[in-house]
Amino acid sequence: MSQNMSVKKVRDGVFDIYIRIDQTNEGRIRRRVKCASELDALAIETDLRNSLGQQAKTAPHTINAISEKYIPWMRNNHSDKTYKDKHRMLLARVLPFFGAYLPDRITTPMIDLYKEKRLKESVRGRINRQINLELLCLQSLIKWGTGQTPALCNEMLFKMKPLPYKRQIPHVATREEINAIIDNASDLFHKSLFCAIYEAGLRSNEARALKPCDINIDKCFARIHGKGDKTRIVPLSNRLANLLKERLEECGDDYIWGNIKSFKTAFNASKRRAKITTKITPHVLRHSFASHLLEKGTDLRSIQEMMGHQDISTTQIYTHTTFALHKEYIEQAF
C-alpha cells in the first residue's frame, strides 16, 4: 500500500489533510481541520494515519524510530556524561515534541514554535543555551540517521538558527589560591589530581580516563583523550611530572584516578584546610589554566590546542579574564 501524505493551508487556522491510500482517485482521504498552526495539523495527520493502521507512531524514518537505534549507538560511542546529557534531552524534550514526524517534514515554524514553548515553560529564564543544545541534539540524531547505510531518513531541508547566547565569562582563581588547595590535599591521589586539572587543563572526565600508558615522564607530556574521541598532547610542568611519577608507582596498570567519586568532597575539604572561602570549583582550575597561560603571553592557538577546544571562539572567552591585568600594564606604561 503506498501513501502520499500532505498538509495544505487553506487560510489562517484552517488546513486540509490529504492521505493517499492507493493509486486510484477513490483511494484518497481529505480531512479539513481547524487548528492554530501547521504543527497542530501535522499532529492531527499523524493521529489520522495511525487510526487507519497505515503507519505506527514509530514507523521507519520518524524521529522516534531513529532514536530507537540512535540511543544505543550513543551509549557505545559517547562518554558517560555526554550520553546522559543527550539521553535526558531526547526523552524529556526532543522526542515528545518532534518524535512523530519525519525529519524532512520539520519546518522553520515548527522549530520556532519549539523555542517559544520552551521559553514559556522556563521559570528560571536565560535558557537560550539549553534550547540550542536540545536542537543540536535533534540535528545530531538526524545527521546520524542520514549517514547510515541504508539511510534511515532524509536530511533536514534547512539550517536551524540558534537563539542568541553570550557565554559567561569564567571565574578564575589566583595562583596562590590554587597552590594552597593543592598543598592542602589529603593524599597523593588528590594532590596529583588537582595539580593535573590545573597544570594540564584537564576536564574531570579526561582525568578519569587517563591511564599510565598515556604519561611519558621522560619526555614530559601526557596524551589526553578529549571530547569527540579527539586526542591531544599536553606538556607536563616539573611539579606535575614529579607528582605523576610518584602516583604511577602506586596506581598499578589501570587508571591513574579511575575512582574519583569523592572528587568534590575532597576538593572542598582542601579548600577548608587552606582557609579559602571564595567560590572555586574543580572546573575553575581548568579555566585558570587557560587564563594564567594567557597572562604569561601564550598565544590563543596554543591554548586552544592544549585545552582541546574545537573552536577558537571558545578560547577567546579567556581574553576577558585578563582585562584587569592588561589595564595594569597600560597604567604602568602611560
Active site residue 75: no
User: Is residue 243 exposed (0-12), middle (13-18) or buried (19+ Cβ within 10 Å)?
Assistant: buried
Query: Burial level of 114, CB count in 10 A (0-12/13-18/19+)?
Result: buried
Task: Report yes or no: 142 and 155 within 8 Å, Cβ to Cβ.
Answer: yes
Residues 315 and 309: beta-carbon distance below 8 Å: yes
Catalytic position from the list 61, 191, 286, 287: 286
283 is catalytic: yes
Question: Do you know the residue count of the chain?
Answer: 334
Active site residue 271: no
Catalytic residue flag (residue 286): yes
CA dist., res. 25 & res. 13, Å (int) = 27
Q: Would you tell me the crossing angle of helices 63-77 and 80-89 to the nearest 10 degrees?
A: 170
Q: Which residue out of 31, 87, 225, 283 is catalytically annotated?
A: 283
Among the listed residues 87, 171, 211, 227, the single catalytic one is 227
**Number of CB atoms found within 10 A of residue 60's CB:** 11
The answer to whether 255 is a known catalytic residue is no
Residue with cell 515528545: 96
Has 326 been annotated as catalytic? no
Catalytic residue from among 86, 190, 203, 208:
203
Question: Which DSSP string corresponds to 89-141?
Answer: HIIIIIHHHHTTS-GGG--HHHHHHHHHHHHHH-SS---HHHHHHHHHHHHHH
Opening angle at CA 100, ends 97 and 105, nearest 5: 90
CA atoms of 38 and 18, how far apart (whole Å): 13
The SS3 of residue 38 is helix
- Return the closest-CA partner of residue 67 out of 42, 41, 101: 101
Determine the Cα–Cα distance for residues 6 and 18; give it in Å rounded to an integer. Answer: 5
Q: Which three cell numbers stand for residue 209?
A: 580516563
Catalytic (active-site) positions: 203, 227, 283, 286, 309, 318
